[in-house]
Chains A and B, each alone.
Chain A
Amino acid sequence: MTRFNNTRLACLCLVTLLPFAGTATAELAYVSNEKDNTLSVIDLESLSVVDTIEVGMRPRGITFSKDFKKLYICASDSDSVQVMDVATQQIIADLPSGEDPEQFALHPDDRQLYIANEDSAVVTVVDTQERTVIAQIDVGVEPEGMAVSPDGKWAVNTSETTNMLHWIDTSTFELVDNSLVGQRPRHVEFSDDGKVLWASSEIGGTITVMDVASRKPLKLIDFKIPGVHRDKIQPVGIKLTSDGRYAFVALGPANHVAVVDAKTFKVEKYLLVGRRVWQMDFANNQALLLTTNGVSGDVSVIDVDDLKVIKSIKVGRYPWGVAVAP
């Protein structure tokens, strides 16, 4: 993997930026704290929490707009997706998200937001500019994971109790196909080239890699960690490096992140992180990977080149989602 170290560059920028933005430093990671109704802001230079922002109730999934000026926040118990102006840290709008939004994915057009409404078995598509609901699509029980393909053609949703991946054609908002996978599918992630889709089954303990063109499974991956009962290995979050080398899989109460060779699908290593690890995001041009550890209430920082955990950072209660702004 080609790696650019942005640190020095960021330091240089810092000097120029300081007069204009008081607290802005290098990259910042935003972490949603499900049981605190806050976001923790982590400075990725000092690897410490520099700010805590109050948001709506039970914040879970978070994602940035393309220009990183807006942060979308699933405030599940407020039944809304909040839009935060990143510069001022103010909530500037509530999107009509449907009931209990948990996860979402932004279409490459930077406009359509696909939202999984966990309590009402629908996927809601919202136009983030007009702030209107464009479509609602019936899916299985407890929709959870959401991903949009890099070419924007597919939106894929997982339903936890129905155990399916639901393939939605984004040009018609029609449900086109359903793929049965292992128990309790939680998360889906497209590869950067859009050819494969990785889906985690939390209770099944597996990852299904799907071929996107045929919408058929290519490979079933399972995990074994010495000393951890297989029932406790519960894959949730997935992150793929853009060079196609690694897939990182967060294994929930097994407290490990699996490093999978994204070409051979072989598990190369297990990294010990905090307790109940769920979601992840890359930072520093994919040199770092951050994980949210719900039970221990912290974020682990993984060095992607060395495949080592280098730090854990205490955040709020039940950290759920993480998104990094350069």
Chain B
Amino acid sequence: MQSVKTSLRFFVALMTLLSVSLLPAPLASAQTSETLNIPILYLKQSITRPPVLSNIQPPAEDSGLKGAEVAIADSNTTGRFLNHQYSLQYVSRKNASAALQQAQQWLKQGNRLILADLPSATLRKLVAAPGIKGQAIVFNVSSKDDKLRSQQCTSGLLHTIPSRAMLTDALAQFLIARRWNKWFLISGARAEDKAFANAIKRSAKRFGGKLIAEKNWRFDTDLRRTAQQELPLFTQVGDYHITLVADEAGDVGEYIPYNTWLPRPVAGTQGLIPVAWHGVVEQWGAIQLQNRFKKHALRTMNDVDYAAWIAVRSLAEAVTRTNSSDAKTLYSYLLSDDYEIAAFKGRKLSFRNWNGQLRQPIPLVHPKALVSQSPQQGFLHPHSELDTLGYDRAEVQCQFGVNL
């Protein structure tokens, strides 16, 4: 073939473009190059969950960790061909300062990579702590706090879990696409419930939803017995298309579907939920990841598992393409235009270079099926439709650096 012989120029350009590593057999490369070690800390602050009415499905204690473990195994299968070795250290502490100490010690030992499964208050302290700020790449795998993406973003802090704003935008787009624009909002009393309710209000403004009524519940009875009596009374607020629930802990919200005065669907934190990941996601090859996860964890994969999985996979992808374990190199690559990763969501994912959030489609699910996935068709954006979800560049008021 003529072009084969004359395409040396192409080839050189391609090598640079793709950062293609063409290595001899794994055994041979093991002898010729040194193993690149990539140690990652999984730092968790275990929190005592408030009592909730429904005891059916308590969240798994090892949420997140199991996802990271599967990703480490995946990455080592790849790493075997390149002589890259990934390892995970798991540390869980009850209080914030003990968790911080562990992180500082990790950096003192010369390590730079952390998966943070921390409440947002602790996470803020972590990324500002001396010895960590500007030194480490921290992946937030569990905090959905919008402030961390809009007002308090920090160089070095990347978010693989979607923010509340991304979740409610994903839901709002679906509701608007279905022309269900009259919403009745019921929210709980906890700070997270208020944050979720605020995100719903922001989404309503963005996409044209109308909150025709808003109520806070203050039930102190056991709704498991009385929902059928209480809720029809509580939900007589005029006409609307859908009830939206803000109850992150899953306290009262579970009892709202089918008990509203009007026969209307329920969405939000219960009913139809927007979520980073769920056991029902099976498209785009996801069933393979779900199977690997189930085999390893003996349960289905949740959103925090996915956030931890994609955090480790993101790092590993950067290590593979740059052939480096240097935090500065990896961080710059993760935030560059070259970076993209396949992650079972039907399109490539990348990080927003204005706040460190992983841009990703959001599944909308109910317990046994995927209902839809946002962004919905027709919600356009000049850069990427995925940026119609969550805080866009112009809405972000913090300084975020693409270099460490």
Q: Is the CB of A216 within 8 A of B292?
A: no
> Given contacts A119-B292, A229-B385, is CB(A263)–CB(B2) below 8 Å?
yes
Q: Is the CB of B347 within 8 A of A141?
A: no
Q: Is the CB of B81 within 8 A of A217?
A: no
**Bound: A166/B80 CA distance, A:** 12
The reply on A196 being an interface residue by CB < 8 A is: yes
**Bound: A180/B319 CA distance, A:** 13
> Given contacts A231-B347, A263-B3, is CB(A217)–CB(B341) below 8 Å?
no
Question: In the complex, how many angstroms separate the beta carbon of B27 from the nearest chain A beta carbon?
Answer: 9
Q: Which residue in B11, B341, B342 is a CB contact (below 8 Å) of A218?
A: B11
> Contacts of B340 on A, CB cut-off 8 Å?
183, 203-204
The reply on B121 being an interface residue by CB < 8 A is: no
Question: In the complex, how many angstroms separate the beta carbon of A135 from the nearest chain B beta carbon?
Answer: 16
> Contacts of B208 on A, CB cut-off 8 Å?
none
> Contacts of A208 on B, CB cut-off 8 Å?
18
Question: Digit string of B344-379 for contact with A (CB within 8 Å is 1, else 0)?
Answer: 001110000000000000000000000000000000
Assign chain A's interface to a size class.
Answer: 35 or more
The reply on B187 being an interface residue by CB < 8 A is: no
**Bound: A229/B291 CA distance, A:** 30
The reply on B288 being an interface residue by CB < 8 A is: yes
Q: Which residue in A121, A183, A263 is a CB contact (below 8 Å) of B342?
A: A183
> Given contacts A142-B285, A181-B18, A220-B14, is CB(A162)–CB(B26) below 8 Å?
no
Q: Is the CB of B2 within 8 A of A180?
A: no
Question: Digit string of A143-172 for contact with B (CB within 8 Å is 1, else 0)?
Answer: 000000000000000011111101000000
The reply on B10 being an interface residue by CB < 8 A is: yes
**Bound: A174/B14 CA distance, A:** 27
> Contacts of A66 on B, CB cut-off 8 Å?
none
> Contacts of B15 on A, CB cut-off 8 Å?
216-217
The reply on A118 being an interface residue by CB < 8 A is: yes
> Contacts of B317 on A, CB cut-off 8 Å?
163
Q: Is the CB of B288 within 8 A of A211?
A: no
The reply on A215 being an interface residue by CB < 8 A is: yes
The reply on A202 being an interface residue by CB < 8 A is: yes
Question: In the complex, how many angstroms separate the beta carbon of B345 from the nearest chain A beta carbon?
Answer: 9
Question: In the complex, how many angstroms separate the beta carbon of B51 from the nearest chain A beta carbon?
Answer: 40
The reply on A317 being an interface residue by CB < 8 A is: no
Q: Which A residues between 203 and 250 are near B, CB-CB below 8 angstroms?
A: 203-205, 208, 211, 215-220, 229, 231-232, 244
> Contacts of B384 on A, CB cut-off 8 Å?
231
> Contacts of B47 on A, CB cut-off 8 Å?
none
Q: Is the CB of A180 within 8 A of B320?
A: yes
The reply on A256 being an interface residue by CB < 8 A is: no
Q: Which residue in A140, A162, A219 is a CB contact (below 8 Å) of B7?
A: A219
Question: Digit string of B55-90 for contact with A (CB within 8 Å is 1, else 0)?
Answer: 000000000000000000010011011100000000
Q: Which B residues between 2 and 47 are near A, CB-CB below 8 angstroms?
A: 2-4, 7, 10-11, 14-15, 17-26
Q: Is the CB of B21 within 8 A of A217?
A: no
Nearest B residue to A264 by beta-carbon distance?
B3
Q: Is the CB of A178 within 8 A of B81?
A: yes
Given contacts A141-B77, A181-B20, 15 further A-B contacts (CB under 8 A): A121-B77, A160-B285, A162-B81, A178-B23, A180-B22, A195-B1, A203-B348, A204-B342, A205-B348, A211-B4, A218-B3, A218-B7, A220-B17, A231-B348, A232-B347
A-B contact pairs, 20 of them (CB 8 A): A140-B78, A142-B285, A161-B342, A162-B81, A163-B78, A166-B81, A177-B25, A178-B22, A178-B81, A181-B20, A182-B18, A184-B285, A204-B348, A205-B348, A217-B11, A217-B18, A217-B20, A218-B4, A219-B3, A264-B3
9 nearest A-B residue pairs (beta carbon):
A203-B342, A162-B78, A231-B347, A184-B342, A183-B342, A178-B81, A141-B74, A141-B77, A203-B348
Chain A residues with a Cβ under 8 A of chain B = 118-119, 121, 138, 140-142, 159-164, 166, 174-184, 195-196, 202-205, 208, 211, 215-220, 229, 231-232, 244, 253, 263-265
Chain B residues with a Cβ under 8 A of chain A = 1-4, 7, 10-11, 14-15, 17-26, 74, 77-78, 80-82, 285, 288, 291-292, 313, 317, 320-321, 340-342, 346-348, 384-385
